[in-house]
Amino acid sequence: MELAKLRQDVPNEVEGERNYLGLEIRPSVATFAKERVGRRGLAGKLDFIGCNANVDLDRILETYTKFGEVSLVSIQYPDPHFKVSK
């Protein structure tokens, strides 16, 4: 969310406006994040999907590249060790 917010006014030089998609292995965390998109003024520019990128990334990229080119993939703080919820 912070990356999308910081760069929302920085257009891609070739295609124009940027859109962001966050992938999260825990669907509840993706839902939690989606609920905050509108409050951050990012509706229509940012979305989240609950999925396993190791399994689903090819399918997701295939689907999204039908609508335009993916110009950047950024992995933000992956953590393979789930924490105990308190």
Q: How big is the chain by its Cα radius of gyration, in Å?
A: 14
Q: Which amino acid is at 38?
A: G
pLDDT of residue 33: 92
The C-alpha atoms of residue 47 and residue 81 are separated, in whole angstroms, by 24
3-state secondary structure at position 24: strand
Q: 72: alpha, beta or left, given left = phi > 0 and alpha = psi -120 to 50?
A: beta
Q: Which amino acid is at 17?
A: E
pTM over 0.75: no
Kindly list the domain boundaries of the chain, sorted by start residue.
Answer: 2-7+18-64
Backbone angles phi, psi at 56, to 5 degrees: -100, -10
In the chain, which residues have pLDDT < 50?
A: none
